[in-house]
């Protein structure tokens, strides 16, 4: 297996983005393989703002597979991690590093244990699809380490078995998860519709909404919906197939009006399906509803959509503005209703902070001086504290290898996470 005493540690580090669905995935036709009841389409977010970074290491000295998430050891015994590890190990190929005197034959990979350290550059608990970025990153990085030759489509169908929406994080830009028809799930994979440069005017503002409420997990929520909602059948069989075709056209033609109408309608139908579940599932809260109302009234007053909204299985609003100028106006309207609780404006908006300058917001005094949005009827009420913070982002690339060894999360001598 190795030249010297087998005390080497071989590592790879990767970074993967998160993604936000504009045509939603909700409902599985196969629970074990994670096969969906309909196609879905997403935008990949800039990994500089929202991503998982994962280092995977192998060494003959590791007695078992282990994983650390954000510095804390977690169990790898779950079926989802096991599926990803098994499927990548199956496809591992011979690897040789002559300089280090390491040679790993194809059959050796099955016997080598892995150490995995992963870190999300955004709060894991914020409800921002961290498992999508995490499982895409795990599969991508394990694939690099184990010299897997399969293309990204094949890797996406492995990531899907970790977390369904993870398959869409294998590509940048606009991505479709094709539900597939086969029972074994081999045709249920992601394809890139367009890369992140295709429509780079779009600006994404996420309102991380404060919530004390414990949410229903996506896994159990989806299961309840599949078992009880008559509306889900109609959505999956009649609505989504034509909506997916229209969304692909809108993306191809950079047709914002159509893109925004489809995105909002699909988010609303997803939440309608949640309400149609027995017992009903409520993911949005009053703050989410206020943001919808703000966007709807503004779009209405402009005569054509300026901003699209979409909400996943939680109260956070993902707002997609047609360009920077619109995003700056959107931010003014949002900050009018949801001003920061303390004086520090720059920690209230993370990611691309330069949007604050575009909106003319340099200090808390500028926020306090904002005029009430004229299109809103109730203008005087404000909701300080109802948004935890905002993230300003854009479309981004798919997974990348992090070549700088200083950025590895595992120590190349001990084989343990740095700082542990």
For ligand ADE, the binding residues (CB under 6 A) are 52, 69, 118, 120, 124, 130-131, 134-135, 138
Q: Minimum distance between the CB of residue 399 and ligand ADE, rounded to whole angstroms?
A: 12
DSSP secondary structure letters along 106-154 = GGGGGG-EEEEEEEESS-GGG-S-HHHHHHHHHHHHHHHHTT----HHH
Name which of 84 and 327 has its Cβ closer to ligand ADE.
84
Name which of 84 and 367 has its Cβ closer to ligand ADE.
84
118, 124, 130, 135: CA torsion to nearest 10: 30
Name which of 135 and 171 has its Cβ closer to ligand ADE.
135
Name which of 118 and 277 has its Cβ closer to ligand ADE.
118
Q: Minimum distance between the CB of residue 357 and ligand ADE, rounded to whole angstroms?
A: 32
Q: Minimum distance between the CB of residue 344 and ligand ADE, rounded to whole angstroms?
A: 27
What is the spatial distance between Cα 412 and Cα 418, in angstroms, rounded to a whole number? 9
Q: Minimum distance between the CB of residue 133 and ligand ADE, rounded to whole angstroms?
A: 6
Name which of 8 and 81 has its Cβ closer to ligand ADE.
81
320, 324, 328, 330: CA torsion to nearest 10: -20
Query: Shortest Cβ contact with ligand ADE: which residue?
Result: 134
Q: Minimum distance between the CB of residue 131 and ligand ADE, rounded to whole angstroms?
A: 4
What is the spatial distance between Cα 206 and Cα 219, in angstroms, rounded to a whole number? 23
Name which of 51 and 288 has its Cβ closer to ligand ADE.
51
Residues 6+ positions from 344 with CB-CB distance below 8 Å = none
Q: Minimum distance between the CB of residue 407 and ligand ADE, rounded to whole angstroms?
A: 15
Q: What is the DSSP pairing of strand 387-393 with strand 349-351?
A: parallel
Q: Minimum distance between the CB of residue 340 and ligand ADE, rounded to whole angstroms?
A: 27
Cβ neighbours around 368 below 10 Å, total: 10
Name which of 195 and 215 has its Cβ closer to ligand ADE.
215
Question: What is the token pair recorded at 396?
Answer: 């981004």
Residue 168 · residue 132 · CB < 8 Å: yes
Name which of 66 and 324 has its Cβ closer to ligand ADE.
66
Name which of 132 and 361 has its Cβ closer to ligand ADE.
132
What is the spatial distance between Cα 320 and Cα 302, in angstroms, rounded to a whole number? 16
Distances (CA, A) of 372 to 108, 332, 364, 369, 387: 66, 9, 16, 9, 18
Residue 161 · residue 34 · CB < 8 Å: yes
What is the spatial distance between Cα 117 and Cα 73, in angstroms, rounded to a whole number? 9
CA 258 to chain centre: 23
72 φ/ψ angles, rounded to the nearest 5 degrees: -110, 135
Question: What is the token pair recorded at 401?
Answer: 């290898």
Residue 236 · residue 243 · CB < 8 Å: no
Name which of 138 and 274 has its Cβ closer to ligand ADE.
138
Residues 6+ positions from 175 with CB-CB distance below 8 Å = 19, 41, 42, 43, 44, 168, 190, 191, 192, 193
First to last CA, the chain: 28
Q: Minimum distance between the CB of residue 377 and ligand ADE, rounded to whole angstroms?
A: 41
44 pairs with which residues across the strands?
19
Q: Minimum distance between the CB of residue 14 and ligand ADE, rounded to whole angstroms?
A: 11
Q: Minimum distance between the CB of residue 69 and ligand ADE, rounded to whole angstroms?
A: 5
Name which of 130 and 393 has its Cβ closer to ligand ADE.
130
Q: Minimum distance between the CB of residue 166 and ligand ADE, rounded to whole angstroms?
A: 9
């Amino acid at each position: 297996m190795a030249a010297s005493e087998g005390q080497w540690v071989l590592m790879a580090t990767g970074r993967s983005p998160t993604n936000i669905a504009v045509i939603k995935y909700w409902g599985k036709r196969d629970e074990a393989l994670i096969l969906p009841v309909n196609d879905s389409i997403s935008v990949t977010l800039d990994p500089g703002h929202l991503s998982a970074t994962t280092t995977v290491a192998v060494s003959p000295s590791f007695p078992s597979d282990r994983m650390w998430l954000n510095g804390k050891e977690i169990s790898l015994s779950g079926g989802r991690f096991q599926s990803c590890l098994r499927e990548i190990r199956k496809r591992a190929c011979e690897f040789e590093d002559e300089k280090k005197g390491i040679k790993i034959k194809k059959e050796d990979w099955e016997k080598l244990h892995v150490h995995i350290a992963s870190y999300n550059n955004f709060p894991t608990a914020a409800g921002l699809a961290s498992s999508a970025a995490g499982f895409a990153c795990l599969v991508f990085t394990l694939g690099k380490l184990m010299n897997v030759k399969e293309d990204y489509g094949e890797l996406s169908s492995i990531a899907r078995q970790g977390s369904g929406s993870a398959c869409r994080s294998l590509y940048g830009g606009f991505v479709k998860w094709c539900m597939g028809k086969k029972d074994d799930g081999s045709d249920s994979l992601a394809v890139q519709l367009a890369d992140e440069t295709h429509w780079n005017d779009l600006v994404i503002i996420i309102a991380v909404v404060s919530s004390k409420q414990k949410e229903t997990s996506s896994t159990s929520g989806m299961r309840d919906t599949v078992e009880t909602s008559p509306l889900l059948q109609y959505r999956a069989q009649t609505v989504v197939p034509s909506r997916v075709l229209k969304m692909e056209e809108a993306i191809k033609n950079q047709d914002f009006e159509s893109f925004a109408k489809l995105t909002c309608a699909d988010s609303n139908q997803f939440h309608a399906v949640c309400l149609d579940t027995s017992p009903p599932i409520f993911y949005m809260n009053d703050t989410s509803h206020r943001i919808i109302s703000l966007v709807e009234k503004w779009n209405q007053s402009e005569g054509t959509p300026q901003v699209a909204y979409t909400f996943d299985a939680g109260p956070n609003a993902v707002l997609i503005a047609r360009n920077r100028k619109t995003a700056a106006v959107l931010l003014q309207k949002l900050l009018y209703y949801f001003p920061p609780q303390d004086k520090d404006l720059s920690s209230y908006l993370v990611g691309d902070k330069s949007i604050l300058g575009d909106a003319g917001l340099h200090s808390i005094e500028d926020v306090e001086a904002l005029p009430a949005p004229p299109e809103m009827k109730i203008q005087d009420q404000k909701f300080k504290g109802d948004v935890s913070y905002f993230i300003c982002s854009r479309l981004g690339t798919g997974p990348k290898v992090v070549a700088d060894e200083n950025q590895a999360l595992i120590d190349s001598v001990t084989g343990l996470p740095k700082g542990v």
